[in-house]
Structure 1
């Protein structure tokens, strides 16, 4: 045998190579047997293979992100209360005005005369009542006649109040401080009661309205901080100051309003904005949105592997999504998430696992 090998030196080289390969392979097996498998049991042959990654829950700030509409804090459309002509435009539209400042004047016509006539009538009635009371004290005037004069005096005073009110309606004043935003009439126009004259808005602070789903409204509280992101990237800070008591019958969502200070009176009313409502800290997992899937009921969820190496599907709540990943709640604090092969296995199915990044 030895003589045969000596005559064929290439056989010796082949034998040494095979021996070295067997030795290395046995060492690799021993090393693999002694290496921990990150709490997952050893795989069984013949089972589907999936790749998993251990994820730990992390604290994150829970928030709801909804689209909203920026509105003035107050907006009023002032209308004519009388029939009259526009005789003066006291302020230009677009200008800031103080509360009580006159904005527009209507013609008084004969209203001043009516006020004077009513004032004279009241004075006459007051004199008649005073004289009747003195006569009544001496039993020279009947009680019924005194009652009639009192009634006529009350009627005269009511007519005077009405005449003065009609006169006051000729002066259109600002009910609150704001911006003279729009005017619907011009000098010389004849207006009727109920006709729109001008619009006044208060933008010293703003409100951002939005609709929030019925599943999320229970997590909201008045006074919660809210971040308002404008379309140009600017951000404003506000607080939640209104939550509707009843849902909209059509959408089943609730109207909310966020109060936003606007000390510089920026012209933002009417624009769109994104609301980020902080609702407290919670434990959540950050993962790729590509790992989310739907179950038969249409719920968002992810697949993971339990201690028995069986596939589990857990519905999750999507807390936030951005270009880098998604935050979800509803998983165990530590979970072996299936990152490769989840589309080929079903919940309850036993699988073989391999940690992400391991050499095949």
Structure 2
């Protein structure tokens, strides 16, 4: 064979080249395998890797935030109790009035005559009854006759009282101090009993009403301070003065009212407001709302990793939520919260956790 190769030297050169190429290729493959094995992380087969962040609970003020409506402390719609014509508008709309001040006048018609007639009847019946009493003392009149005359006197007095009431109903006065807010009639209008005349409101104080959930109403106390935030950013302080004894049948929520002093008579009645109701201090963690999830029972909660590297789902109570995050309670005081990969793991699952990037 060597004699043949010696006769053909070009075959020797080809063979040497092939051997050199195979040696180079085998070395490159070995190095590539070494590099690949060095870059692959050590991970147990079948385990999911998640990122966690350690969170510690801190004390915070618990509060309920609900939407409410600002109302006048008192509001009454005055209606006529008699028929008549509006003959005088004694006050202008929007003007402040005192209790008992005349607001509007109706025509008296024949009512003064009815009062005069009633007064005359009372005087006549009183004289008859007095005379009968004297005669009865001398047995000159029967007991039945005396009783009849006394009954007629009582009837005449009742009719006089009614005539005087009818006369007084021509004068519409303010039942309390407030603001003459609206008028539903004009000068010369003819009105019937029960017809609305005007509206009187008292805004020296305001009440802010809202509905609060049944699971939260037990945390409220009458007299506690409540912060009222208006739509324009202004804030008022009020006092919780009413909690409904029974829930609304439709919403299962309870009506509450907050009393707010309004010494400057600010025109706020009818506006919307946000109530911030403090309910004590508790330990809580601030998390991103995106980390909240629901369990099969529909409860809000978060997933975290325990010391055994197992996923745990814990229901939490939302204390407050805003654009920056959510304050929740119910977690351990220190917890390794899953911040990445929570959607791919289930409670009880064994995982490999590592600290989230950029977290010390």
The TM-score with structure 2 as length reference comes to 0.86
Match of 1:221, SS state, is coil
What residue in structure 1 maps to residue 236 of structure 2? Answer: 236
Task: Please state how far the C-alpha of 1:44 moved relative to its aligned partner.
Answer: 5.6
Match of 2:215, SS state, is coil
Match of 2:266, SS state, is coil
Relative to structure 1, the CA distance from residue 62 to residue 358 in structure 2 (aligned partners, 3 Å threshold; closer, same or farther) is: closer
Give the distance between the partners of 2:148 and 2:358, measured in 1 at CA.
107
**5+ residue gaps, structure 2:** 1-37
What residue in structure 2 maps to residue 110 of structure 1? Answer: 110
What residue in structure 2 maps to residue 132 of structure 1? Answer: 132
What residue in structure 1 maps to residue 177 of structure 2? Answer: 177
| 1:110-135 CA distance string (max 9 Å, x none) | 10110111011111111111111111
Aligned alpha-carbon RMSD (Å)? 1.8
What residue in structure 2 maps to residue 350 of structure 1? Answer: 350
Give the distance between the partners of 1:162 and 1:137, measured in 2 at CA.
33
State the 4+ residue runs in structure 1 displaced beyond 3 angstroms. 43-46
Give the distance between the partners of 1:339 and 1:351, measured in 2 at CA.
14
What residue in structure 2 maps to residue 285 of structure 1? Answer: 285
Relative to structure 1, the CA distance from residue 151 to residue 330 in structure 2 (aligned partners, 3 Å threshold; closer, same or farther) is: same
What residue in structure 1 maps to residue 302 of structure 2? Answer: 302
What residue in structure 2 maps to residue 325 of structure 1? Answer: 325
What residue in structure 1 maps to residue 18 of structure 2? Answer: none
Match of 1:222, SS state, is coil
Task: Please state how far the C-alpha of 1:357 moved relative to its aligned partner.
Answer: 3.5
What residue in structure 2 maps to residue 148 of structure 1? Answer: 148
Match of 1:149, SS state, is helix
**5+ residue gaps, structure 1:** 1-24, 26-42
Alignment of 1:237-252 (within 5 A): 237-252=237-252
Tell me which moved more, 168-177 or 45-54. 45-54
Match of 1:147, SS state, is helix
What residue in structure 1 maps to residue 197 of structure 2? Answer: 197
What residue in structure 2 maps to residue 261 of structure 1? Answer: 261
What residue in structure 1 maps to residue 16 of structure 2? Answer: none
The TM-score with structure 1 as length reference comes to 0.86
Retained in 2: the 8 A contact 1:48–1:351? yes
Retained in 2: the 8 A contact 1:224–1:279? no
Match of 2:165, SS state, is helix
Larger Cα-atom Rg: 2
Match of 1:62, SS state, is strand
Tell me which moved more, 336-345 or 89-98. 336-345
